[in-house]
């Protein structure tokens, strides 16, 4: 699965803008609500996102002459992929400890802003090419698409108990395409349902299994 540079950049920037707007609207109580990630509050998820964006920035500033060895879909088959409910317990506890160090939950959002601003500016001028990230070499379109998926999924994670605005359509579309690529075919649901089931956030019921047919055996494709 190869994603065009401009499509990946649009998906990522749109996803980041939407997530920030949603986070900015949350008060201390809402940030303490449970998320879809086992063991994490909404604020904990945003700490995890912040850590990820810092890691992403290293890739943005690391162009390489190496040949790409992974793409927007195969990246998620590596141990460096999305971590949430199925992630290591140590990471869950580490994020919770970090979130607990803030004097109040809204400070989590304030601390996220400088990193998001710097990353958005860097992505705006990132040239089409190949970057080194997490031991891999990825085309910039695939690299940006993988982070657009991360933002879209974690945006959905915030809405376990809260009624929130949706993720950016461009980011969610890239997430859906990735899930279907990994599953091996088109899934018969809307984007939210496809991504939530495909990433293990929502277990498929009997109707979902029937609708998905043979593809149901491959779900979830990442978690």
CATH code, domain carrying 84: 1.20.120.450
Q: Domain count of the chain?
A: 1
Give how far Cα 122 sits from Cα of 53, 59, 65, 119, 158, Å.
Answer: 12, 11, 20, 5, 26
CA distance 125 to 123: 5
Residue 210 lies in a domain: no
Residue 44 lies in a domain: yes
**pLDDT (0 to 100) of residue 222:** 86
Report whether pLDDT(83) > 50: no
Vertex 78, ends 191 and 3: CA angle to 5°? Answer: 50
Residue 171 lies in a domain: yes
Vertex 173, ends 68 and 55: CA angle to 5°? Answer: 50
Reported as a single tens digit per residue, the pLDDT across 141-195 is 999 999 999 999 999 999 999 999 999 999 999 999 999 999 999 999 999 999 9
Residue 9 lies in a domain: yes
Residue 27 lies in a domain: yes
Q: Which residues contact 192 (CB under 8 A, 6 or more apart)?
A: 156, 166, 172
Residue 195 lies in a domain: no
Kindly report the pTM of this predicted structure: 0.93
Residue 181 lies in a domain: yes
Buried/exposed code over 176-189 (b: 16+ C-beta within 10 A; e: otherwise): bbbbbbbbeeebeb
Confidence band, pLDDT 50/70/90 cuts, at residue 89: confident
Report whether pLDDT(208) > 60: yes
CA distance 69 to 110: 36
CA distance 189 to 98: 36
Residue ranges making up the domain that contains 162 = 5-185
């Amino acid at each position: 699965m190869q994603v065009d540079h401009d499509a990946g950049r649009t998906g990522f920037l749109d996803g980041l803008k939407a997530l920030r707007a949603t986070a900015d609207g949350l008060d201390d109580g809402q940030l303490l609500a449970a998320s879809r990630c086992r063991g994490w509050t909404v604020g904990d998820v945003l700490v995890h996102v912040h850590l990820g964006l810092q890691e992403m920035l290293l890739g943005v500033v690391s162009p390489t002459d190496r040949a790409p060895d992974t793409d927007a879909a195969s990246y998620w088959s590596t141990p460096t992929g999305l971590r949430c409910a199925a992630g290591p317990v140590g990471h869950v506890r580490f994020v919770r400890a970090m979130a607990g160090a803030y004097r109040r939950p809204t400070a989590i959002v304030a601390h996220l802003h400088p990193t998001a601003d710097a990353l958005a500016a860097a992505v705006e001028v990132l040239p089409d090419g190949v970057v080194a990230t997490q031991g891999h070499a990825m085309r910039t379109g695939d690299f940006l698409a993988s982070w657009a998926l991360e933002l879209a999924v974690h945006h959905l994670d915030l809405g376990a108990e809260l009624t929130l605005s949706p993720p950016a359509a461009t980011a969610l579309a890239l997430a859906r395409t990735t899930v279907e690529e990994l599953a091996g075919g088109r899934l018969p649901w809307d984007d939210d349902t496809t991504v939530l089931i495909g990433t293990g956030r929502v277990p498929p019921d009997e109707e979902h299994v029937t609708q998905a047919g043979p593809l149901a055996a491959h779900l979830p494709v990442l978690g």
